[in-house]
Amino acid sequence: MRYQLLGPVRVRAADGYRTISGARQRRILAALLVDANRVVSVDRLVDVVWGEQPPATSVQQVQNCVSSLRRMLVDVGHEPSINRMPTGYSLSVRDDAVDTRIFTDLVVLAERSAAKGDTDDACTTLRRALGLWHGRAMEDVSSDALTPAAVQLDEARVRTMERLVAIEMTRGRADAVLGDLSAWAREQPYHEGLHGQLALAYHTVGRTGDALTLIDGVRRRLRTDLGIDLGAELSRVEAQLRAPRPDAVEPERVTGSSLEMLHAALVRLTAAVNLLTRAIEGGRLGQGASPSSP
């Protein structure tokens, strides 16, 4: 693997992975990697770097940034791989050279194993896929033009987390995912799907009190930070956990269709929450160099 987008944008060097110095160069590299082996137009790169207010010299500056990026890649041991095309640039890479492609391939392999009933291999492969992540996708790149691609990757990561948990729960291994699931829920404080799975996992191992405390915390965060109420499915889980019967949430329902229903009902919130989070983070990172920057 030579390039990383699942976290900070980094390239492999002889002594490990390095970040790309220069915000413009990082944005251009990220744009070329998102559309690796395809032509990325100069207009697209201008939009990635400056957004709606590019300088009059933006085309020339893109050319200068690409030349600088080429030198950086060669300096860390990469073969020249950015090709000038009639309408833009193309970065030539193998499928196993970019972490996003490896991640996608591993998820596909895991689903094939699950379909064959090999849940051991499916879980192992899903964990390998999640192990490629080192933060939010392209987290050190502030570009409105790249936000949709970054959000899509982040959503794929969450779906993979949920899928791993669902498979482990069907195997009766709620205790095996509690640690990872707790960490993932902390990373996604507004994601009701992950918190719903964590609450069900707590309940399955006899920690119903912790499950209810968790749901109360989600409710407070949603109301205080986003001004919305708890979703219907997580509310239903809470009602089941608070019911007087000890078997209010039966293991068969916890490990099967209820998880799928929870995921289906709550996934619509993910895109909005990720966009809101990225907008906040984008404000911290800034909007990049001003048009007057050299």
The topology (CATH level 3) of 133-285 is 1.25.40
The topology (CATH level 3) of 3-97 is Arc Repressor Mutant, subunit A (1.10.10)
Q: What is the pLDDT of residues 227-238, one digit of tens each?
A: 999 998 899 899
Better-scored residue on pLDDT, 276 or 178 = 178
- Asked if residue 245 has pLDDT above 70, the reply is no
Q: What is the pLDDT of residues 84-132, one digit of tens each?
A: 999 999 999 998 999 999 999 999 999 999 999 999 999 999 999 999 9
Domain ranges of the chain: 3-97, 133-285
- Asked if residue 262 has pLDDT above 70, the reply is no
> Nearest 10 degrees: CA dihedral of 126, 15, 22, 287?
30
Cβ(262)–Cβ(234) under 8 Å?
yes
Min mean pLDDT across 157-166, 251-260, 263-272 is at 251-260
Which pTM does this prediction carry?
Answer: 0.79
Sheet holding 10-13, edge to edge: 3-4, 10-13, 16-19
* Range 148-157 contact pairs with CB under 8 angstroms and sequence separation of 24 or more: 149/34, 150/278, 151/271, 151/274, 151/275, 151/278, 153/5, 153/6, 153/100, 154/274, 155/267, 155/270, 155/271, 155/274, 156/103, 156/104, 156/107, 157/6, 157/130, 157/133
d(CA 235, CA 168): 23
